[in-house]
Structure 1
Amino acid sequence: MGVSTARPEAGVAVVTVDFPPVNALPVQGWYDLAEAVRAAGADPGVRCTVLAATGRGFNAGVDIKEIQRTPGHTALIGANHGCAAAFSAVYDCPVPVVAAVHGFCLGGGIGLVGNADAVVAADNATFGLPELDRGALGAATHLARLVPQHLMRTLYYTSRTVTAQELHRHGSVWRVVPLRELTRAAMELAREIAAKDGSLLRLAKAALNGIDPVDVRRSYRYEQGFTFEAGLSGVSDRHRDAFVAARTRPEPPEEPSMERES
């Protein structure tokens, strides 16, 4: 469990997140992820980094249960700073980052994917920001890098999700493949990128970041201010408490089937 890095072939580093059951990262997990991505990019032998995850989904955002069981605002502040560190590590990684997404990609997952250079997704992948339902704000900066402006606003206000196929139509997902082929597809793209000259790749990444129309660090930091305002007002706690209560409520007994067993 945690964050691990592998180098399956020359020029490619694979950073994998594993926080069962749903990859909702605790505060330290975000910092560990940031450090792993920074270390991969700092390796002169790496020319492309793949960001992947194990389990049921790519990323379910922050660990809300950790925030609610920690007295005061320490965990909330830690989660916000940890997310910012991880998002920045992906964006500032000196080499291209390919996100390999399966299952759900929510909240902080959007921050990671929105800051990646390319996205390969399994056909079961869904993307969204349920922030308003969780008493939070943030990562609209990164969702706006995946979908057009008005769709971003609609998704943000409604907490709806979109499929990998929809993002592919918008051009923000490079390929959509069956789940069993996700690793192979992500590695194929990473291999193609890593075949280029390493020095030129690093110059290209710096150049593309330099001409970005939005400063993702500044705009996300601006969003975080409203998250803290919601937290201090008490509205965030109400929504997070309701979320935690819903997740810990016992499942109702299964109704007997009306169909006769064969």
Structure 2
Amino acid sequence: MTISSVLRDDHIRVVTMEHGKVNALPVADWFGVAEALDEASRDPQTHVVVLRAEGRGYNAGVDIKEMQNTSGMEALLGANAGCYAAFKAIYECSVPVIAAVNGHCIGGGVGLVGNADVVIASEDAYFSVPEVNQGALGAATHMARLVPQHMMRTLYFTAGRIPAKDLLQFGSVYRVVPREELDAAALEVAAVIAGKNTKVIRAAKEAINGIDPIDVNKSYRFEQGFTFELNLMGVADELRDDFAGTDKSGSKESNK
């Protein structure tokens, strides 16, 4: 498991993702994120969560190689269930969740950030939902919480990316800072929230979720249904093979 959770003396819980250089999370780690956020939600000593990452980037989505090197549908079903659990746990966490985003934030990473309450990013951070390249669908629900509707559609259909600095104009990213200042900036905002009455903040989180115009859990689950369809068609498996550089048996192809 490569998800760590540390509760500081100032009631700020820091949850860190670290899996390889790019943080393409395997199934177990998606559930690990969910477990860490559920623990924070239950703990009265946790007033706010900072969700951060080590490595070159924040999150590169699911581990495609794990999926292609696993027989049957077990890894695919696990990844879908794990992502759903992680996104849901962030959204429903009883305390605010601050996403401290460094470098790439791709696919499932957008799901994590889109359901967070506050987003702070480094100057090199960017966001992308390239699922169409791998024959999958998902996280449009969450990208739509970061950018306007037509921008979301353009990014989704083109598998394009948008830098964090461009999200400042939409108000979805609160601050963009040099990478070396990212943790400090996130902790600064977290300290302000942690200093408030936690019962009031927890009530505020529930109230704000209650007036949200979109049911993000239901919306994302709807998207996942199309991923299952694409897998049944066989097109998703072919595209993932191309991405992962594997043949149908799961071994490395000699010509790649």
How many angstroms apart in 1 are the aligned matches of 2:97 and 2:215?
18
**Can you list the C-alpha shifts for 1:196-223, whole angstroms capped at 9, x where unaligned?**
1000000000000000000000000000
2:53 corresponds to: 53
How many angstroms apart in 2 are the aligned matches of 1:93 and 1:119?
15
How many angstroms apart in 2 are the aligned matches of 1:26 and 1:94?
26
Q: TM-score normalized by structure 2?
A: 0.95
AA aligned to 1:146 is: L
**Can you list the C-alpha shifts for 1:25-72, whole angstroms capped at 9, x where unaligned?**
101110011001110121101110000000000000000001101111
How many angstroms apart in 1 are the aligned matches of 2:134 and 2:21?
19
How many angstroms apart in 1 are the aligned matches of 2:200 and 2:118?
18
AA aligned to 1:207 is: A
Q: Does the residue aligned with 2:119 lie in a helix, a strand or coil? A: strand
**Can you list the C-alpha shifts for 1:197-256, whole angstroms capped at 9, x where unaligned?**
00000000000000000000000000000000001100101110110119x789x9xxxx
**Can you list the C-alpha shifts for 1:125-183, whole angstroms capped at 9, x where unaligned?**
01010100111101100000000000000000000000010111111000000000000
Q: Note if contact 1:123-1:176 (Cα within 8 Å) is conserved in structure 2.
A: yes
How many angstroms apart in 2 are the aligned matches of 1:84 and 1:133?
20
Residues 14-25 of structure 1 mapped to structure 2, 5 A cutoff? 14-25=14-25
Task: Tell me the CA shift for residue 191 of structure 1.
Answer: 0.4
Residues 135-174 of structure 1 mapped to structure 2, 5 A cutoff? 135-174=135-174
**Can you list the C-alpha shifts for 1:93-123, whole angstroms capped at 9, x where unaligned?**
0000000000000000000000000000000
How many angstroms apart in 1 are the aligned matches of 2:171 and 2:10?
29
How many angstroms apart in 2 are the aligned matches of 1:69 and 1:139?
24
How many angstroms apart in 2 are the aligned matches of 1:226 and 1:160?
20
Task: Tell me the CA shift for residue 3 of structure 1.
Answer: 0.4
AA aligned to 2:44 is: P
How many angstroms apart in 1 are the aligned matches of 2:9 and 2:22?
28
Task: Tell me the CA shift for residue 10 of structure 1.
Answer: 1.4
Does the C-alpha gap of structure 1 residues 190 and 249 become closer, same or farther in structure 2, counting only changes over 3 Å? farther
Q: Does the residue aligned with 2:245 lie in a helix, a strand or coil? A: helix
**Percent identity over the alignment?**
56
How many angstroms apart in 1 are the aligned matches of 2:41 and 2:119?
18
How many angstroms apart in 2 are the aligned matches of 1:234 and 1:180?
44
How well do the aligned residues superpose, as a CA RMSD in angstroms? Answer: 1.4
2:230 corresponds to: 230
2:249 corresponds to: none
Extract structure 1 runs of 4+ deviating beyond 4 A. Answer: none
Higher Cα Rg, which structure:
1
How many angstroms apart in 2 are the aligned matches of 1:156 and 1:91?
22
Q: Note if contact 1:41-1:49 (Cα within 8 Å) is conserved in structure 2.
A: no
How many angstroms apart in 2 are the aligned matches of 1:136 and 1:223?
9
Q: TM-score normalized by structure 1?
A: 0.93
1:30 corresponds to: 30
Residues 1-262 of structure 1 mapped to structure 2, 5 A cutoff? 2-245=2-245
1:259 corresponds to: none
In the alignment, structure 2 segments of 5+ residues that lack a partner are 247-251
The alignment covers a number of residue pairs equal to: 250
1:255 corresponds to: none
